[in-house]
A and B are shown apart, each in its own frame.
Chain A
Amino acid sequence: MKSKSVIWGMGSLLLVGTISACGSASKTTPAATGYKAGAINRQYAGTTITVLLPPYGAMPQTQLAKFTKETGIKVNLETLAWADIHDKIVTAEAAHISPADVTEVDWSWVGQFSQAGWYTPLNNYIAPKYLANAINRNVFTINNKLIAMPYNFGFKETTINWTDFHKAGITKAPTTWAQVLQDAKILKAKGVVQYPVGFPLSIGESNSTNWYALIKSAGGTLFNSKWDPQFTSPSSPGYQALVFEKKLYQDGLMPPGVVSLHNAQVQSLFASGEIAIALTSGPLFMSSFKNPSTSKVASDHLQIIPLPGNDGQRTGTFGLPEGLGIPELSAHKGAAAEFINWWMEKPQLLLSYNDPNMGNPPPQLDVLNQLAKENKIQDGSEIMSILPTVKPLFSQGTPVWYPQFSTDAATMIQSVVEGHMSVKTGVTTLASEVKQMVQSAP
């Protein structure tokens, strides 16, 4: 998949200019499209919209057929791997072609997409009740423009296997990094699991986001309001988090293979019972952990707990939601907006959560509250208790240089935990790279 997209992308580098001259952007407003925010009717009957989402965003065809019956809008659903969607959007936008009428917008793409002006502000396209109830909406808002509507909510939490903990004689969930180290050593020493803790350390987004999560959980921050790095001081949570990660790896408490694993692969280790602590998991994974067809620990006692902090300073986590956006170049903005509003309705949100191929926690607070009350969400009370502590990673909005920073951070973290670089050198190098990025940003 990646290969195809890269070959396609590289070819596009040579071809893209050819096409770019042919395109023209058509800017439309809700008034121009005649769409009334939140309306679900047959105003756009006969229109076909293309929706581009990752596999876990693939609404079942039976449900899409209901949308078509209700609105007359046909949906052509395309699914691609998450990272490939980014490449497709970039290539299409470079060629002034709309990648689809509705696309995935990850929280980490918001800075670049907003700067490039590729997405239609949805403030006036979405029904006020959905806007009011949207969890993590601020993550997708830059300069008061909402460029995507969250269709799930994600945040970093820790998932533990109580069955393994009890086998090792541990009765209390860890709340600090020191306790995680201590519990992991006991689990290993008692032979319950060889490598108790899972944490992705390959060079990719999941590695760096987990470091940010640890920083947040210890009450820290990556940058101040002027984008000055806040992780270079040895007493800073960022520095301490690296020391903690290095210790986990060097002490043999994490599988050696995590240096080449991404987040989903580490969660698979948890599902197969090879690790007892998924240190930086997410609520998205709980449904697959509890599914006997995808998990060997489905019958075990599993629990979501807040991320352990440093020395008891457990202050929170950050949100990693994914949203639905409408490219500016879409020719069917009204129909696309109707689709997004339809997705925000309770039946679709419930299906998106309950379908074993999707598992998206509902991003609408009223729906989530109701599910928690009815006890229909896995670990609902824990999730609801963590939710108020979920904050955006960057209070100023995701910067345009975020993807580059993320890669550099992941590279540094891997080098540090493997012992190729000291923590001090790692954070100093990353800080100087950040300064260059900030200076050269538009």
Chain B
Amino acid sequence: METRTITQGARPVRGKQRARPLWRKFFTPYLLVLPAVAVIFGLVIYPLMFSVFSSLHVDDLLYAGIHTYIGLKNYRQVLLDPSFQIAVRNTLVYFVLATIGVLIIGLTISSWLHSIDLKWRGLFLTIVILPWAVPGVVTGLLWSFIYNPTSGILDGVLRSMHLISQNIVWFCHTSMSLVLITVALLWQIVPLSSVILLAGLESIPPTLYEAATVDGCSAVRRFFGITVPLLRPSLAIVLVQTAVLSIGIFDQVYVLTGYDPSTKSAVIQTYLYAFQNLNFGQGISAALLITLGITVIGYLYLRLIYREVAY
């Protein structure tokens, strides 16, 4: 077996070089990362650990001074609470609808942006990205004006097109309400997804498509054979982002339908536990369960979809 040794003489030494003390050499890297570690520990690790600790104890503001250890009772109560179960069901609907919407609309917009001339792309990209910059509450208010059954734009447009004769109360049906709220959510999250997917599309060398065309591949084949596999890193990021925003949906739901059980999300239920019922133990437990759900879904996305791509 061939072995290689690197001798000290292999590296040219310029002038006099003072030897650094061993302890300094050893500790310097740790000292350099210490501020970042301290910040992460102080703002993430410790609060998270404390939250887990609190969730295992009585933490009800109406029972001041009582912090008895109760194990997983808070989690059990939250999971068995029909209100939380309904909220989780609603949240899953938002998540599924938002994922489908982002994939279809996001891919369509990014493909369109990718196809247009470079000199126009900047302009359209700016227009597309605008809704992303609008805060969630404003988005909710905007869509509440659109859906308003008395003076809303949507009813007005449909009436002017003679598609309806009387104004429709859009939030009167549960399934319709969930879809309408998802539309408001998509309006906010699709822009960034489109930009991420556009970046992915632009990184695919055009030569691959040219070669495939020469080989006689159809457009559909090129999409599923080249575009989709090479977009996997971008898709994974987009899907994780969609999962985080749709499972954590609050603003749009709160503004459009408030605490309505048929539409309230898991985060709204968490808010109610903590700020309406003043039961922080249950609130923290619900928040941690939601965090766990997002983490698991994010991990699965990265594990199953994300792949390093090299050209």
Cα–Cα distance between A411 and B262 once the two chains are bound (Å): 10
Instruction: Mark A160-175 against chain B: 1 for CB-CB distance below 8 A, else 0.
Output: 0000000000000000
Main secondary structure of the interface of A (DSSP, over half): helix
B141 to chain A, nearest CB (A): 10
B interface, size bucket: 35 or more
The answer for the CA separation of A160 and B148 in the assembled complex, in Å, is 25
CA distance A315 to B121 in the complex (A): 69
A10: chain B residues at CB < 8 Å are 267, 270-271, 287
CB of B169 within 8 A of chain A? yes
Contact with B along A170-214 (1 / 0, CB 8 A): 000000000000000000000000010000001110000000000
Give the residues from 25 to 75 in chain A that come closer than 8 angstroms, CB to CB, to chain B. none
B contact residues around A115 at 8 Å (CB): 62
Known: A14-B284, A17-B50. A117 touches B64 (CB 8 A): yes
Write the chain B residue with the least CB distance to A194. B150
Min C-beta distance of B264 to chain A, whole Å: 9
Contacts of B171 in A (CB 8 A): 259-260
Q: Mark B226-264, 1 if CB is under 8 A from A, else 0.
A: 000000000000000000000000110011111111000
Interface of B is mostly: helix
Chain B contacts of A418 at CB under 8 A? 169, 172
CA–CA, A17 and B250, complex, Å: 23
Question: Is A257 touching B47 in the complex (CB atoms < 8 A)?
Answer: no
Question: Does B136 sit at the interface, judged by CB under 8 A?
Answer: yes
Q: Is B277 an interface residue (CB 8 A)?
A: yes
Asked if A16 contacts B250 (CB within 8 A), the reply is no
Within 8 A of A (CB), among B16-60: 46-48, 50-51, 53-54, 59
B280 in contact (CB, < 8 A)? yes
Please, how many angstroms separate the alpha-carbon atoms of A204 and B254 in the complex?
11
* A260 touching B61 in the complex, CB below 8 Å, given contacts A17-B54, A404-B277: no
**Which residues of the other chain, B, contact A16 by a CB distance below 8 angstroms?**
280
Chain A residues within an 8 Å CB radius of B271: 6, 9-10
Residue A22 at the B interface, CB < 8 A? no
CA distance A1 to B251 in the complex (A): 10
Q: Which of A87-95, A291-299, A364-372 contacts B (4 or more CB under 8 A)?
A: A87-95
Residues 94-119 of A contacting B (Cβ, < 8 Å): 94, 112, 115-117
A389 vs B30: C-alpha distance when bound (angstroms): 73
- CB contacts between A and B, total, < 8 Å: 115
Instruction: Say whether, besides A17-B51, A404-B277, A407-B276, A260 and B144 are in contact (CB < 8 Å).
Output: yes
The distance in angstroms between the C-alpha atoms of A308 and B284, with both chains bound, is 45
Q: How far is the CA of A117 from the CA of B260 in the complex (A)?
A: 31
- The 8 Å CB contact of A256, one of B62, B64, B136, B150, is B150
Query: Does B272 interact with chain A (Cβ within 8 Å)?
Result: yes
Q: How far is the CB of B69 from chain A (nearest CB, A)?
A: 14
Interface string of A73-89 (1 = CB under 8 A from B): 00000000000001100
Q: Is the CB of B287 within 8 A of A13?
A: yes
**A13-B287, A203-B258, A411-B260 known; A257-B151 Cβ under 8 A:** yes
Given A16-B280, A94-B280, A442-B63: A256 in contact with B169 (beta carbons within 8 A):
yes
B260 in contact with A414 (CB, 8 Å): yes
Residue pair A3, B284 in contact (C-beta under 8 Å): no
B131 contacts the other chain (CB 8 A)? no
- Residues of chain B within 8 A (CB-CB) of A404 are 272, 276-277
Whether, in the assembled complex, A400 has its beta carbon less than 8 Å from a beta carbon of chain B, the answer is: yes
Whether B278 and A90, one on each chain, are in contact in the complex, defined by CB atoms closer than 8 angstroms, is yes
Q: Give the CA-CA distance A440 to B169 in the complex, in Å.
A: 37
A412 to chain B, nearest CB (A): 10
**Inside 8 A of B278's CB, which chain A residues have their CB?**
90, 112, 116
Bound-state CA distance A259–B149 (Å) is 9
Total number of A residues with any Cβ neighbor in B under 8 Å? 41
Chain A residues, Cβ within 8 Å of B136:
3
The answer, among B59, B149, B260, B270, for a CB contact under 8 Å with A257, is B149
Q: Which one of B63, B258, B270, B275 contacts A202 once the chains associate, using CB atoms below 8 Å?
A: B258
A401-423 to B contact mask, C-beta < 8 Å, 1/0? 00110010011001000100000
A13 x B51 contact (CB < 8 A): yes
Q: Is A15 an interface residue (CB 8 A)?
A: yes
CA distance A116 to B278 in the complex (A): 10
In B128-152, the 8 Å CB interface with A consists of: 135-137, 144, 147-152
Check if B298 is an interface residue, CB within 8 A of chain A. no
- A129 on the B face (CB < 8 A): no
A418 to B261, CA, bound (A): 14
A18 at the interface (CB under 8 A from B): yes
Contact of A3 among B172, B250, B274 (CB under 8 A): B250
Say yes or no for A2: interface residue by CB 8 A criterion: yes
A121 cross-chain contacts in B, Cβ below 8 A = none
Decide if A90 touches B50 in the complex (CB within 8 Å): no
Asked if A282 is at the interface (CB within 8 A of a chain B CB), the reply is no
Other contacts beyond A257-B151, A407-B259: 14, CB < 8 A = A1-B137, A3-B254, A6-B250, A6-B251, A10-B271, A14-B50, A17-B51, A17-B54, A112-B61, A259-B149, A260-B144, A260-B171, A260-B257, A407-B272
Offer 20 A-B interface pairs, CB within 8 angstroms, sorted by A.
Answer: A2-B251, A6-B254, A6-B271, A13-B287, A14-B51, A14-B284, A15-B47, A87-B275, A94-B280, A115-B62, A202-B258, A203-B258, A204-B258, A257-B148, A260-B144, A260-B149, A260-B256, A400-B62, A407-B259, A442-B63
Closest 8 CB pairs of A and B: A257-B150, A256-B149, A3-B137, A203-B258, A255-B150, A17-B50, A14-B47, A256-B169
